[in-house]
Structure 1
Amino acid sequence: MSFLSRFVRNFTTMNSSATPMNVPAGAQTATIAAGCFWGVEHMYRKAFDNKGLLDARVGYIGGDTSNPSYRSVCSGRTGHAEALQVVYDPEKVSYRTLLEFLYKMHDPTTADRQGPDVGSQYRSAIFYHDEEQEKVARDVTDKVNKQWWKGKVATQILPAGQWWDAEAYHQLYLDKNPSGYECPSHFLRNFPALSE
C-alpha cells in the first residue's frame, strides 16, 4: 500500500466522518449504491487496493434532508441511499472498470432491495459527477442489461447531489468487525467480458 493510501486510510479511521476525503490532483471520484454499504466498501477495497483506489468512504446520497443519520436513513423516510464514494487514480483504474465491478458484485435487478435488506436506502444506483461519467454509466448499464442481466437491471443513474459521510463507526466496518453482517447478495459473479 502506498504512503498516500495508508495516510488517507489512517486519517479516515481516526477522524470523524465530517472530514472530507482527500482528492489528490488528477484523482477522480465515483459514487455508487448497491445495498448495505459495509459489504460494498469491503469488496471495492479488496478488489482495487493498490490498483488505483486511493480512498473509499461510506455515506448517504440521494435524499432530501440535511445531515442524515444512520437511524434516519434506515427508516426509509429521508430518501437517501446507503452508498460508497471512492477516490481513484484514472491512470490505474477506469471508471468503466469500477462500474463493471458494481454489476458483478451485487444484484441490480431488485428495486429497493439487496437480499434480505429491503427499502429505498438499499437501492442500486450510480451517481455521476459529470457528463462523461453519465455517458459511461449509461453505456455500461445498457451493455450489462443486455449481456449479463437479460433486461432486468433496475439500477438508477442519477446526478450526484449532496454527499453525507456516514458515522465514523461505519467506515471500514468489516475490517474492524470481520464477522460483521455481510449482505448475501454481495459476491463476485463470474460474467464474460462485455462485448462492444
Structure 2
Amino acid sequence: MKSRFLLLACFVATLFSCSSDDSGQPADSDPITGNKLLMLRVDYQTNQFEGGKEFAFEQPATTFTVTSEYQEPGDFGWVKLYYDELDTKIFDGEIHWMGLGQLHFPESFEPASSFEHVLTNDFVTPQNGYENVFNPSGIAYDYEVPWSHVQGLVKVRQYLEANPTATVKIFLYTPSVGIGNPADWDWFILVKN
C-alpha cells in the first residue's frame, strides 16, 4: 500500500512540476533584451576566437555610436572607446612604441569555451556590414576573416536576430607598435542588440 501511495505521490509531483509554457527550449534561449553589447576578441594572426564579454546597460538606447580618444604613442600612448549615446567607456588600452601596452578595460573576458556554437554550417554576415571604429593607419582590412570565427556563436546569432539591421563595429588593437609584435594584436568585434 505504501509503495502505491509513493508512486501516486511521485506522479502528482511530476505532473505539477511541468509548466504549461514549457516549449522545450532552454530558459536562456533569448537572453538578448534590454540594452546590451557583446564584445568579442579574435587573435590577429590566427583569427582564433579568444573570448568575449557581454555588457548590460540600464539606460536604453536604440542607436550605437562608438567614439574614440587616441594618444599616438611617441613612447606611450593609448586608445579609449566610448558608447557615445551613454557616454560610457567600453575599451581602454595602452599602446607602447617598442614595448607592450596593457589592456585596462575590460579587465577580463569569458573564455571562448564558454560560448556555444550553432549546429548548422550556414554563414551569416551583418546586414549593414562593418564599421572600423579605430583605424589610425587607414589600412583596409578584410573584416570577413575575423568575423568568420565568431559568426557561428549562438550569442552572436541571438544579437543579430534581436537587431537585424545592426552594423558590426570592429577595430584592431595593437598594444605594441614600431617594432611591434603582431602576435600581441587582437581584433575586437562589437555587436549591439
Q: TM-score normalised to the size of structure 1?
A: 0.25
Higher relative contact order (CA 8 A, sep 6+): 1
Asked which structure has the greater CA Rg, the reply is 2
More strand by share: 2
